[in-house]
Structure 1
Amino acid sequence: MGYLDRKIADLYQYTPELTAPEDLHLYWSKTLEQLSQRGSVAAERQQVSTTMRGVQAYQVNYQGYDETKVSGWYLIPSMWKENTYPCVVLFHGYAGSSGLPESYAPWLLAGIAVFAIDLRGQTGSTGDLLPQEGGMAKGWITKGIDDKDSCYYKALVIDCLRAVDWAAEQPEIDPSRIGVAGASQGGGLAMIVSALSRKPAFAIADIPNMCHMDWGIFHSTGSLTEAADYVSQYPDRWEKVMRTLSYFDNMNLADRIEIPILVSVSLKDPVCMPETVFAAYNRIESDKELHIYPFRGHSTGEKHLRKVLEFAQRQVGR
């Protein structure tokens, strides 16, 4: 057995000790109950023009975790002339945005509607009204990171859960055929939403972050460097920071996933390292498939898109 075969075999056996706090599931039960009591998602949508023929495009603003209005593109492939459509809710990578409606043409041509949101405070159209009571490292993830109830991750995750709720309420969408998807930060969010919400029917988590974060904070060259910088300035807050992150770590929540999920991993990825992805993937108990790219870094390559679309189409009966 060569090096690569041994490495992959070892990764499939990699199940590090969980970092889940004792009240993890109680915390999320209470949080989700509070969320359900809010009822329908307050939102407005306005039709906009697009270069794509046969597509209805809307700019949407909905109320997320707090008073922040989360912005997104809602795109309907009306050229297929169906009464209702399956829908994928898409989350972008860290420091990115939802881009332009035309970016989602492959999904629309596959017969799947799209709701792609701008994550709070990042480079899209969504602001961030989350209070900031202390200092933070550059970026966003260390905002309120000393406490699970005031941190950026909580607001971010709830924004994403509300996006799925909003999509399920739209008259053009079949609520039984909604999926969540994204890459890197977006893949991590797709994974945690699929663990916490029972509305998605499938999930696609490409090179996901938010996995095995206690390991990642020491090794990642991505967003977790912000948390590392923060605790280097405040070493006495190390335990608080790690406890907060543990509530949002997909490794700790993976066994809650009950839907089919596609995951991808790149073995030379310095941002979402293979150890972190496998730590979460190996604990998923639902129907799952993994696509491994041994010689890629923080990417999967354009050919992976076909695998993603084929997976989604199988789940929604296309």
Structure 2
Amino acid sequence: MKKRVSFVIVLFSCVTLLSAQVSINKTYVNIRMVPNHADWVYKPGENPELSISVEKSTEAIPNVTVSYELGPEMLSPDKTGTLTLKNGTGVLKMGTMKKPGFRTCKATVSVDGVNYTNWVTVGFSPDEIKPTVPYPADFMTFWNDQKSKSGRLPLDVNMVLLPEKCTSAVNVYQISYNYASHGARFYGILCIPKAEGKYPAILHVPGAGVRSYGGAIEDAERGFITLQVGIHGIPVNLSGQVYNNLRSGILRDYNIINLDNKEAYYYNKVYMGCKRGVDVICSLPQFDGEHLATYGGSQGGALSIVVASLDSRVKCAIAFYPALSDMTGYLHGRTGGWPHMLKDSENSIHNTPEKLETIGYYDVVNFARNLKVPVFFSCGFNDRVCPPTSTFSVYNSITSPKELMVVPETAHWAYPDQRVRAFDFILKQFNMK
């Protein structure tokens, strides 16, 4: 399969979130910033220009002053200043970078006593960005051992039909299964087409957070078995207050729990629990035994790559702006991936030999290096949760067939068009299109 990269700008007002971490809010006043390259990509040494206007109801406001900060994405600015838009528009040079990476302009303006902020991030040869995270010599030995321990346990699948969620074409179940010792269980929503036959499958892995899940019913109605899992070992159809209490209580900052111990780090059970989701799908008599994809955004984008890397039964993976990617970037003078535990690298309590060792075993870059199946990636340049430097560190590490859809103006969200392309990618891999 040929590698294909497309940089497009899609102009739709409707957006679809692939993670519950961020919501999109439009403001009455908008700071519009348009780079002078349509794809927002430059070579090191080039000095991008931004066309800037401040608009109210799409009309440019004259004689406003914009304050700006320029610098490497997610780091302290190296230049600040102001620009007065006398005729409602102006041009600002962003400054350059000497090596591949991303640079951001953050702009702020006060209109009618209200402050508004926006930002634009452009790339400098992003296809040449290299990861910073070390690759442990025993990386695959470690994970083969973890898989062996988990795989020796009985799945003990429990399925409970949810009649209120079933449709004329799909049966919907809450499901739980064993994934670790001491009876630890994963929970999720399983959807199976009602008509007799054998079906392809999609494992939906979640973005970060603690919440309920409704299942990927729409995909099941299109002829797929779908399993949408939670990662915290709790039922996924409880009341919202239960998740609120857990989110602010015992599961607060779950992404750093036991970070100093690679055997006990929180994501050990997460990676193994998601991987055992493949075991569940493969145990179903309705599964066709061959066509299985992983799908997720943000933390889910990370988990999609991890599971596809760990289990050869996965035939393709979909990853939107993966988290947990090149997290050590901050130790090398650039941004790192979510959850940004090393952001204040000199003073970070996580900058210890034990924790850095653990990060090497869980960073998505190191799973991406071992991928053998086709992967579809999609991201935007304005993402400040999973910044593009970390995303490209992963993408550029993949040697299997891959396809990239960049929508530069998006942040930590995706347009419906990106979801359509992702689903079409699965259909293409499964020879269903």
Q: TM-score range by the shorter chain?
A: 0.7 to 0.9
- Residue 175 of structure 2: aligned partner: 60
Deviation at 1:305, TM superposition (A): 1.5
Residue pair 1:204, 1:262 contacting (<8 A) in 2 also? yes
Distance 1:317 1:86, change over 3 A: same
In the aligned structure 2, how far is the partner of 1:251 from the partner of 1:285?
12
More helix by share: 1
- Residue 326 of structure 2: aligned partner: 212
Residue pair 2:326, 2:337 contacting (<8 A) in 1 also? no
Q: Which residue of the other structure, out of 190, 193, 202, is the alignment partner of 1:77?
A: 193
Q: Which residue of the other structure, out of 287, 290, 308, is the alignment partner of 1:173?
A: 287
Distance 1:137 1:53, change over 3 A: closer
Q: Which residue of the other structure, out of 216, 231, 253, is the alignment partner of 1:119?
A: 231
Name the count of aligned residue pairs. Answer: 303
Residue pair 2:323, 2:386 contacting (<8 A) in 1 also? yes
In the aligned structure 2, how far is the partner of 1:221 from the partner of 1:254?
15
- Residue 144 of structure 1: aligned partner: 258
Secondary structure of the structure 1 residue equivalent to 2:232: coil
Unaligned runs of 5+ in 1: 128-135
Deviation at 1:34, TM superposition (A): 2.7
Distance 1:98 1:177, change over 3 A: farther
In the aligned structure 2, how far is the partner of 1:306 from the partner of 1:273?
23
- Residue 184 of structure 1: aligned partner: 298
Q: Which residue of the other structure, out of 243, 260, 263, is the alignment partner of 2:377?
A: 263
Write the mapping of 1:235-254 to structure 2, written as runs, cut at 5 A.
238-254=352-368
Residue pair 2:293, 2:316 contacting (<8 A) in 1 also? yes
Distance 1:47 1:230, change over 3 A: farther
Q: State TM-score, norm by structure 1.
A: 0.86
Q: Mark the structure with the bigger radius of gyration.
A: 2
Unaligned runs of 5+ in 2: 1-35, 43-121, 243-249
Distance 1:215 1:124, change over 3 A: farther
Deviation at 1:147, TM superposition (A): 0.8
Secondary structure of the structure 2 residue equivalent to 1:191: helix
More strand by share: 2
How big is each residue's C-alpha offset from its partner over 1:112-171, in whole Å with a ceiling of 9 and x where there is no partner? 1110011116894699xxxxxxxx994201111101001101111001111111111111
Q: Which residue of the other structure, out of 222, 228, 232, is the alignment partner of 1:110?
A: 222
Secondary structure of the structure 2 residue equivalent to 1:74: strand
In the aligned structure 2, how far is the partner of 1:182 from the partner of 1:242?
26
In the aligned structure 2, how far is the partner of 1:167 from the partner of 1:242?
34
In the aligned structure 2, how far is the partner of 1:232 from the partner of 1:187?
29
Residue pair 1:144, 1:152 contacting (<8 A) in 2 also? yes
The amino acid across from 2:405 in the alignment is: H
The amino acid across from 1:76 in the alignment is: I
Q: Which residue of the other structure, out of 121, 138, 142, is the alignment partner of 1:27?
A: 142
Distance 1:312 1:97, change over 3 A: farther
- Residue 132 of structure 1: aligned partner: none
Secondary structure of the structure 2 residue equivalent to 1:153: helix
Deviation at 1:222, TM superposition (A): 4.7
Deviation at 1:82, TM superposition (A): 4.3
Secondary structure of the structure 2 residue equivalent to 1:52: coil
Q: Which residue of the other structure, out of 308, 311, 320, is the alignment partner of 1:197?
A: 311
Distance 1:253 1:175, change over 3 A: same
In the aligned structure 1, how far is the partner of 2:180 from the partner of 2:318?
23
Q: Which residue of the other structure, out of 401, 410, 416, is the alignment partner of 1:296?
A: 410
Write the mapping of 1:150-169 to structure 2, written as runs, cut at 5 A.
150-169=264-283
In the aligned structure 2, how far is the partner of 1:214 from the partner of 1:42?
38
Distance 1:184 1:156, change over 3 A: same
Residue pair 1:202, 1:259 contacting (<8 A) in 2 also? yes
Secondary structure of the structure 1 residue equivalent to 2:41: helix
In the aligned structure 2, how far is the partner of 1:47 from the partner of 1:138?
31
Residue pair 1:206, 1:263 contacting (<8 A) in 2 also? yes
The amino acid across from 1:63 in the alignment is: N
Distance 1:164 1:230, change over 3 A: farther
Secondary structure of the structure 1 residue equivalent to 2:263: coil
Residue pair 1:110, 1:309 contacting (<8 A) in 2 also? no
Distance 1:160 1:269, change over 3 A: same
Residue pair 2:186, 2:273 contacting (<8 A) in 1 also? yes
How big is each residue's C-alpha offset from its partner over 1:213-238, in whole Å with a ceiling of 9 and x where there is no partner? 1126874695334x669995746x62
How big is each residue's C-alpha offset from its partner over 1:163-182, in whole Å with a ceiling of 9 and x where there is no partner? 11111111111221111111
Residue pair 1:77, 1:109 contacting (<8 A) in 2 also? yes
Q: State TM-score, norm by structure 2.
A: 0.64
Q: Which residue of the other structure, out of 262, 266, 272, is the alignment partner of 2:386?
A: 272
Secondary structure of the structure 2 residue equivalent to 1:247: helix
Residue pair 2:133, 2:328 contacting (<8 A) in 1 also? no
How big is each residue's C-alpha offset from its partner over 1:86-132, in whole Å with a ceiling of 9 and x where there is no partner? 1101111100445213xx233123321110011116894699xxxxx
Secondary structure of the structure 2 residue equivalent to 1:165: helix
How big is each residue's C-alpha offset from its partner over 1:252-285, in whole Å with a ceiling of 9 and x where there is no partner? 2212111111111111100111111111111111
Residue pair 2:379, 2:388 contacting (<8 A) in 1 also? yes
Residue pair 1:144, 1:150 contacting (<8 A) in 2 also? yes
Deviation at 1:17, TM superposition (A): 4.0
Percent identity between matched residues is 21
